[in-house]
Amino acid sequence: MSVVDQETSAAPASVVTMPFAKAINAGLRAALAADDHVLLMGEDIGPLGGVFRVTEGLQAEFGAERVLDTPLAESGIVGTAIGLAMAGFRPVCEIQFDGFVFPAFDQITSQLAKLTNRHEGALPFPVVIRIPYGGHIGAVEHHQESPEAYFAHTPGLRVVSPSTPNDAYWMIQDAITSNDPIIFLEPKAKYWMKGEVDTSARALPLHASRVVRRGTDVTLVGHGAMVTTLLQAAALAEGEGTSCEVIDLRSISPIDYGPILDSVRRTGRMVYAQEASGFTSVGSEVAATVMEKAFFALEAPVLRVSGFDTPFPPAKLEGLFLPDADRILEAVDRALAY
């Protein structure tokens, strides 16, 4: 399933350059236009266009019954989205910031994730929950968290996170047409990053991981905004004579292990990087599984570089908390030292 560096191939006419947030906006617009039972719901997504302007213009275009400014209650948003799905809709909920998803946690975990199973497949629950997540924006508490592990651990959910505008454009549409509940994590640090979007065809299926840089010595894996940091680290490592392969997970649940295992079998060394705290995290899962499945290929243990096991600190310390290229390189060096 892996394809190298989709975004850097020669650009056909269908290719437009746009920022990440605009790419989601365009993807949402396409989904709203394609199916009149797609609807968006959330806080401030109407006239304001969302606090990150991701839904800008959509209420004006599709009306207040397709793009809903709901009452201020996250359990209510997800709980009514479930009821709307029962009535034949495909709701796309926006949670304003990562840290505000927890009031909806019961509806997500005990209802949304389990309802297909509880109904023994009699009806699908095509609900997408969009969550801007992660740090790097210098914001106050609850606005910079990475809650993916909670959702990854919950059977019945799918969890994805695009890291480029092109993926953002396609993955949001694929998430909306999927019949399963999907937690759609948008790395808010990337909202303003521009990139080419090829509106003619998707590059990869929703749940595929992707090799974004080829290398031979160490495999670097991560998701969301961390992919950029991994690429920076790989560039720095190259200067020091180390060749890093970089893989963007794209899908956090399920994980497409094929490209990762292929890579590790060649390099023998791997580092997983994530903004989330490391204890019982997605990085733990990937490390444990890769070590299990590629045991004899490994020259060193899979190392993890994570946010510390502290609450996300005040903004002035976020640079200390969040793994940067140097911290990734430190792990690369440790891996190489085995």
Partner 1 sequence: MTPPDDPALVRVLAADGTFAPTPGAERYLPLIDALADSELETFYRDMVVVRAFDRQATNLQRQGQLALWPPSFGQEAAQVGSARAARPQDHLFPSYREHVVCTIRGVDPIDIIRLMRGLTHGGWDPTDPKNGNTRIYTLVLGSQTLHAAGFGMGLVFDKRTATGDPEKDEALIVYYGDGSSSQGDVHEAMVFAASYRAPQVFFLQNNHWAISVPVSTQSRTPLFQRAAGYGMPSIQVDGNDVLASYAVTKTALDEARAGGGPRAIEALTYRMGAHTTSDDPTKYRTSDEEESWARRDPIARMHAYLRARGASDEFFAGVEEDAAAYADDVRIRTNALGDLDREVMFGHVYSEPHPLIDEQRRWLADYEASFEGGKA
Annotated catalytic sites, by residue? Answer: 143
How many whole angstroms separate alpha carbon 59 and alpha carbon 230? 37
Name beta bridge partners: 273: 222, 305
How many whole angstroms separate alpha carbon 257 and alpha carbon 36? 36
Q: How far is the CB of 110 from a second copy (least distance, A)?
A: 5
Per-residue binding letters, 196-235, with a second copy (x by CB under 8 A): ----------------------------------------
Taking contact as CB under 8 A, which single stretch among the options 142-150, 192-200, 207-215, 227-235 is the one that binds a second copy? 142-150
Per-residue binding letters, 66-105, with a second copy (x by CB under 8 A): ---------------------------------x--xx-x
Amino acid at 138: G
How many whole angstroms separate alpha carbon 107 and alpha carbon 62? 27
Using CB under 8 A as the binding rule, the residues of this chain from 252 to 271 that contact a second copy are 253
295 scored as a contact of a second copy (CB under 8 A): yes
Per-residue binding letters, 100-119, with a second copy (x by CB under 8 A): --xx-xx--xx--xx--xx-
- Find all residues with CB under 8 Å of 213, minimum gap 6, and list them: 4, 5, 231, 234, 244, 245, 246
242 scored as a contact of ligand TPP (CB under 6 A): no
Q: Which of 149, 246, 264, 325 binds a second copy (CB under 8 A)?
A: 149
Q: Which of 59, 70, 96, 277 binds a second copy (CB under 8 A)?
A: 277
Per-residue binding letters, 82-111, with ligand TPP (x by CB under 6 A): --------------x---x--x--------
Name the strand (E) or helix (H) holding 194: strand 194-198
Using CB under 6 A as the binding rule, the residues of this chain from 36 to 55 that contact ligand TPP are 43
- Find all residues with CB under 8 Å of 267, minimum gap 6, and list them: 215, 216, 217, 218, 219, 245
- Find all residues with CB under 8 Å of 87, minimum gap 6, and list them: none
Q: How far is CA 101 from CA 34, 135, 211, 255, 327, in A?
A: 28, 16, 31, 23, 29
How many whole angstroms separate alpha carbon 32 and alpha carbon 52? 19
Q: How far is the CB of 141 from ligand TPP (least distance, A)?
A: 10
Q: Which of 72, 123, 140, 317 binds ligand TPP (CB under 6 A)?
A: 72
Give Cα 53 to chain centroid, integer Å: 18
135 scored as a contact of partner 1 (CB under 8 A): no
- Find all residues with CB under 8 Å of 188, minimum gap 6, and list them: 52, 132, 133, 134, 136, 137, 225
List of residues contacting ligand TPP (CB under 6 A): 43, 72, 74, 96, 100, 103
Rule CB under 8 A: which residues touch a second copy?
Answer: 99, 102-103, 105-106, 109-110, 113-114, 117-118, 141-142, 149-150, 152-153, 155-156, 253, 276-277, 279-285, 287-289, 291-292, 295, 300-304, 308-311, 338
